[in-house]
Chains A and B, each alone.
Chain A
Amino acid sequence: MIRNRAFGWVCALMFAIVATSAVVPDAKAETPVKGGTVVYLSSKIPSLNPLHSAYEVGLVTSQIFASLVRMDENNEIAPYLAESWKISDDGKTYTFNLAKNAKFHDGSPVTSEDLAFSFDIIQKHHRFGKQMFGPIESYEYPDANTLIMHLSKPHGPLLLAATTPRQLPILSKKVYGQAEDFMKQDAHKNPVGSGPFKVGDRKTDEYVSIVRNEDHFVEGLPYLDKIIYQNVQDKTAKRIGLRQNQFQLARTDSVMRFSDIKEFSKLEHLSLEEYKGIAGGAIVLEFNNRKEPLNNKLVRQAIAFAINRGQISDVLHGGFTKASRSPLPATNVFFNDRLQGYPFDVDKANALLDEAGYPKKDDGTRFELNLIFIAPPFMPDFNTLPSEFIAASLKKIGVKVKLEPLQGFAGWAKRSAAWDFDMSINWPGDKTDPAIGVSRLYVCDNIKNQAYTNTSGYCNKKVDEIFVQAAAEADTEKRRQLYAEVQDILLEEMPMLWLFDTPSLFFAHKDLFFPSYGTAENWDVMYWKKAQN
């Protein structure tokens, strides 16, 4: 009897706890809980070199290393490791003041020498080192926390490039300065940064865990105690784990195709988050501008009119992508909001091809083009699916398309670099600033035998001029005007067709606050809205 009564009390108490906990979070929904763990569903993390090519490596190193500045909630450049900075009127001298309490994970302070060392390493070893920090010429060190940097010419992208640890991880000279070749050194096994998290433990091809840096220079951050990056390869296992709440964060495209997202979003403990930051991407249909008939602007425009890109986004991708409106993704800081892209108009397309001198032959065709893309299982939503749709669309205007799926990045890159294609599905990415990620695709002096350069062979002196001018302009408003102008020209000349902007979608636990601004990697401000047990 006594036992029963006690049981009754326990029940009542538990009910009370459940009832209050159900009410309280709503009352103060946005109070971050300090602590807790998040398991992120990752793919392989082969190395912890901050300059490694694998996407998920960057997701880890972006927590371990701090960048110089960062993006705030309004996607404006905000102080971070640099407390403040000053740019001279001629745009050629930058003065950075570092946070005085900033320390590397080994306890040594972050000094202006470390900063200069980082700029030098990145300039030399980063894939976009030259485009980001090329004009930096010399440094002065008035004191340990101040760096004065002299440029050979004004350089627009510099600060924007310094907003993410993917592009500018601040490295310790003491730790990374010993090795002969930065890319090959033991320090990459146990990286030392000054970011919000430190390396916890790591088992190759299984998981990497990072733990809170108690000495972080930003007071009160990070919120989380620990993030575990768990590698799972099989899609069935990924789905099971997601259903069973074994992962609280995952990129949707690593788990499933767009067509399955809606079904999965119905799971009660998950919410679908779209990252709305600045670095975006778009899938493009690249034309080989050297080859007949694609060397004719009218033919390229006709192809653009013939493809109903809205249908790819709205129907085939279930509305998760958006038809591109300009050569820049709509998330880019310099995107020209006035532009709408090419409408779908088959009659116009046919008329343009007739005008260009490619009338329909007796069998109803005009000419044949090949189309290269990366074969499944690599992201079929971005490769196979649009390719097949394009082939079907162009058939209607008498253009026969020969589909050529290629094995893996390497197989595709080889053909792309050899300029051995008529049309190619390409995914360049804008890398935050057009001077880094966009101009490279169009300027004449970047026509090179390498993937993601100007492999289309497009060349227009006017476009070159504007890109050079915009890169060397420090004033953001002036840059905006220049990039607006270049977007107009490119849209008219159509060196490639910008198909659709690719989103960054994540499944996150519904109690987890996911920072969807900035560069998608500021997980120090991620927090639990209520404590998890």
Chain B
Amino acid sequence: MKFAIIQRLLLGFVLIIAVIVLNFFLLHAAPGDVVDAMLAEAGGGDEEMAARLRASYGLDQPIYIQLVKYLGRVLTGDLGHSFYYDDSVTTLLLGHLPTTLMLTLSALVIAVVLGTLFGVYAAIKPNGFFSNFVTVFSLFGYATPVFWLGMIILLAFALYLPLFPAYGIRSIPEPETAIGRFFDIINHLVLPTFTLAILYLANYSRISRAAMLDVLGADYIRTARTKGLPEIKVIFKHALKNASLPVVTLAGLQLAQVFSGAVLVETVFSLPGVGPLLYESIVRRDFPVILGVLFGAAATTIVANIITDLIYKWMDPRIQSIT
């Protein structure tokens, strides 16, 4: 088992190198570089100046040398320097990551718990009003573009019913006490978290409803019932445990996206997360930052997959090894 994890990590390492190389060439195929973007934004400048900037950023060298240098730096744990932010990419990522993780992880937890409960309830009474409601709601969540949903939620709960702030992660000035600051951040995260959760939730309720319907017809459920077990125990202990494998699969997939999967929600609610950092850097052709974010996303995916496999094994002992 330990060996298997090490093997997976090694494979992941090779994969990450491949991702970096691929991204590097893809980025350099895009028209224009950061110096073009900066000079154009500022309304021009002279040629010598541009040449000096390119030399200072190492952009004047042939692309393969740039790649080798970049890979060498990444291996020593240095993700490079952002041209646009005048800061190291590692610092930038670490600064933007907490917001994104708070948002995506809480949305994921809310979605998994609520979505599964909705699905279970809908499966118990497949033709009831609530079951139909879950189906419609799921379709709605599944089909709605996230920026539109975010905008509507913003208008509803920040403008017409001004319960929550419309932008940012904290108030200025910040509350004085630590508890005050904590609740201030929670307050700012409510709307974006629920926007993202509604989107995720749709999938979980649909999948768990289908899986539960499947499992509830199985022989061992009938056995459990005839044993005289209380219905609640039958549902949650016997049925749900088996029915939740697809939920875990989906959660694992989404866990892989926690790093950069909330670009739109973060943009709509002006959160200082990884998403807007990525977007801005693409517009400015700030390659080190883009590569850094993609690197983080690839690493998260690999780790998330390993975690998912471990949970599988715990939930269903029939799955013997994670390889």
Interface residues of A (CB under 8 A from B): 39, 44, 46-47, 49, 52-55, 125, 127-131, 181, 183-184, 188-189, 203-207, 209, 228, 230-234, 236-238, 240-241, 243-244, 246, 406-415, 417, 427-429, 431, 437, 440, 448-453
Q: Is the CB of B43 within 8 A of A205?
A: no
Select which of A54, A128, A428, A448 is within 8 A of B47 by beta carbon.
Answer: A448
Asked if A236 and B151 sit within 8 Å, CB to CB, the answer is yes
**CB neighbours of B170 from chain A (8 A):** 206
Point out the residue from A39, A53, A204, A415 that lies within 8 Å of B85, measured CB to CB. Answer: A204
The answer, yes or no, to whether B309 is at the interface (CB within 8 Å) is no
**Residue in contact with A188 in the complex, picked from B39, B86, B150, CB distance below 8 Å:** B86
Which residues on the A side are within 8 Å of B37 (C-beta)? 408-410, 413
Binding site for A on B (CB under 8 A): 30-34, 36-50, 53, 56, 81-82, 84-87, 92, 95-96, 150-151, 154-155, 158-159, 162, 166-170, 172, 267-270, 272, 276-277, 280, 283-285
* Contact between A184 and B36, CB atoms less than 8 A apart: no
Distance in Å: Cβ of B219 to nearest Cβ of chain A: 53
- Closest residue of chain A to B284 (Cβ to Cβ) is A410
With A47-B86, A205-B272, A228-B172 known to touch, is A452 a contact of B45 (CB < 8 Å)?
A: yes
Contact (Cβ within 8 A) B167 A237 = yes
Chain A, residue nearest B95 (CB): A204
Q: Of B31, B39, B167, B270, which is within 8 A of A452 by CB?
A: B39
| B151 proximity list for chain A (CB < 8 A) | 234, 236
Q: Could you list 16 further interchain pairs (A-B, Cβ under 8 angstroms) beyond the known A53-B38, A127-B49, A130-B46?
A: A46-B82, A47-B87, A127-B45, A127-B46, A184-B86, A189-B87, A204-B95, A209-B172, A231-B272, A234-B268, A409-B32, A410-B37, A428-B44, A431-B43, A452-B39, A452-B44
The interface residues of chain B lying within 8 Å CB-to-CB of A128 are 44-46
**CB neighbours of B44 from chain A (8 A):** 127-128, 428-429, 437, 440, 450-453
Q: List the 5 closest A-B pairs by CB distance, nearest first.
A: A452-B44, A410-B32, A127-B45, A409-B40, A53-B42
Subset of 29 A-B contacts with CB under 8 Å: A46-B82, A47-B85, A53-B38, A127-B39, A127-B42, A128-B44, A130-B46, A130-B48, A131-B46, A204-B92, A205-B272, A230-B172, A231-B270, A234-B151, A234-B154, A234-B268, A237-B269, A238-B167, A240-B155, A240-B166, A244-B159, A409-B283, A410-B40, A411-B31, A413-B32, A415-B31, A450-B46, A452-B44, A453-B47
Q: Which residue in A49, A410, A450, A451 is a CB contact (below 8 Å) of B86?
A: A49
| B39: contacting residue among A49, A53, A204, A228, CB under 8 A | A53
Most buried by A among B37, B150, B269, B283: B37
Contacting pair A237 B56 (CB below 8 A): no
Query: Provided the pairs A237-B167, A414-B36 are in contact, do residues A183 and B172 lie with their beta carbons within 8 angstroms?
Result: no
Nearest-neighbour CB distance to chain A for B130, whole angstroms, equals 32
Given A236-B268, A410-B284, A431-B43, are A241 and B85 also a contact pair (CB < 8 Å)? no
Q: How distant is B96 from chain A, measured CB to nearest CB, in Å? A: 7
Q: Choose among B30, B39, B53, B95 the residue with the greatest number of A CB atoms under 10 Å from its CB.
A: B39
Closest to A440 in B: B44
Nearest-Cβ distance from residue A343 to partner chain B, whole angstroms: 29
Is A237's CB under 8 angstroms from B85's CB?
Answer: no
Q: In the assembled complex, which residues on chain B have CB atoms less than 8 Å from the CB atom of A205?
A: 96, 272, 276-277
The distance from the CB of A126 to the nearest CB of chain B, in whole angstroms, is: 8
CB atoms of A413 and B167 under 8 A apart:
no
Q: Is the CB of A46 within 8 A of B283?
A: no
